[in-house]
């Protein structure tokens, strides 16, 4: 793979870009194919730029972890100065694209970029407060998409933000649980409750996941989509919640890994359900 493509963390960037496009498509406007392409590109490029900041600040730490040791910066395939310039150029392009839609969307995009690259990243070695901070840029994409489409804030982008905000906690902590041994080598302290992989931590994960169940019904109450998507989203939330109960009963890496996959499944089902229901209506 081209090292400059690898720096973008393409799979992560595509996932985030889809969340932004999801928010854009959910907005009640006429959607032009070119604009859909541009909002997707903006999300992908901005996420890639933030990922580059993250990697620049963690070069020495990435060398210590098996999962990151072969990245372009630790292996010196790309020099830090080159990556820095590349990242800044991408950030300017992304913010320019968002400005084409709305200065408000660009402002949230800039805040997301700063929070992820310059606040969340160093906090990973401080404690689980990093997950709270990281949940903000992680939840901004659908809000950015909606604001880019409509040009204003409101309850609708707020609920899209809230759902993805609370989703971040079980998602992040499931990953941190599975990768804990690697994270410890770099001094990352992301798990709650003193970083112990036990029933107490699983219980904390369950509490945050619990919020997803009622939140899944709110888009229907706001007349954003129909009842079918509300039922599907709530059911997906219940199934995701059941995974946390299983993790409480069996606090193992295997259970956490299944929950990690479950977090991606929940997000995808929620987004597709809301989009499909909105398109049909």
The fold for domain 1-153 equals Tetracycline Repressor; domain 2 (1.10.357)
Of all residues in the chain, what percent carry a pLDDT higher than 70?
A: 98
pLDDT of residue 171: 95
Report the Cα–Cα distance between both ends of the chain, in Å, rounded: 42
d(CA 158, CA 136): 12
CA angle 36, 155, 173 (to 5 degrees): 80
Separation of CA 192 from chain center: 19
Structure tokens at 136: 């903000």
pLDDT (tens digit, 9 = 90+) per residue, 48-67? Answer: 999 999 999 998 988 988 88
Q: How confident is the model at residue 279 (pLDDT cuts 50, 70, 90)?
A: low
pLDDT of residue 88: 96
Q: How confident is the model at residue 276 (pLDDT cuts 50, 70, 90)?
A: confident
pLDDT (tens digit, 9 = 90+) per residue, 37-50? Answer: 999 999 999 999 99
pLDDT of residue 280: 55
pLDDT (tens digit, 9 = 90+) per residue, 127-164? Answer: 889 999 999 999 999 999 999 999 988 999 999 999 99
d(CA 161, CA 142): 7
DSSP-based three-state secondary structure for 195: helix
State the pTM of this model. Answer: 0.92
């Amino acid at each position: 793979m081209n090292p400059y493509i690898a720096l973008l963390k393409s799979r992560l960037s595509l996932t985030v870009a889809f969340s932004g496009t999801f928010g854009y498509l959910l907005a009640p406007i006429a959607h032009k194919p070119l604009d859909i392409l541009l909002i997707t590109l903006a999300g992908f490029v901005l996420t890639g730029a933030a990922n580059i900041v993250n990697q620049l600040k963690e070069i020495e730490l990435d060398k210590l972890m098996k999962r990151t040791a072969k990245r372009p910066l630790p292996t010196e395939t790309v020099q830090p100065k080159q990556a820095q310039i590349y990242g800044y150029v991408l950030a300017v392009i992304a913010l320019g694209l968002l400005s084409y839609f709305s200065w408000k969307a660009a402002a949230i995009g800039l805040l997301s970029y700063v929070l992820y690259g310059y606040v969340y990243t160093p906090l990973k070695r401080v404690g689980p407060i990093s997950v709270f901070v990281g949940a903000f840029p992680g939840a901004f994409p659908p809000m950015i998409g909606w604001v880019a489409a409509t040009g204003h804030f409101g309850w609708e982008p707020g609920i899209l933000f809230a759902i993805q905000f609370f989703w971040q906690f079980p998602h992040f902590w499931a990953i941190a649980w599975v990768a804990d041994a690697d994270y410890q080598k770099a001094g990352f302290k992301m798990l709650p409750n003193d970083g112990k992989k036990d029933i107490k931590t699983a219980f904390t994960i369950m509490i945050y996941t619990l919020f997803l169940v009622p939140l899944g019904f709110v888009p229907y109450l706001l007349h954003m989509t129909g009842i079918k998507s509300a039922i599907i989203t709530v059911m997906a939330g219940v199934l995701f919640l059941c995974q946390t109960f299983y993790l409480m009963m069996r606090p193992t890496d295997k259970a956490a890994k299944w929950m990690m996959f479950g977090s991606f499944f929940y997000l995808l089902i929620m987004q597709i359900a809301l989009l499909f229901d909105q398109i049909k209506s």
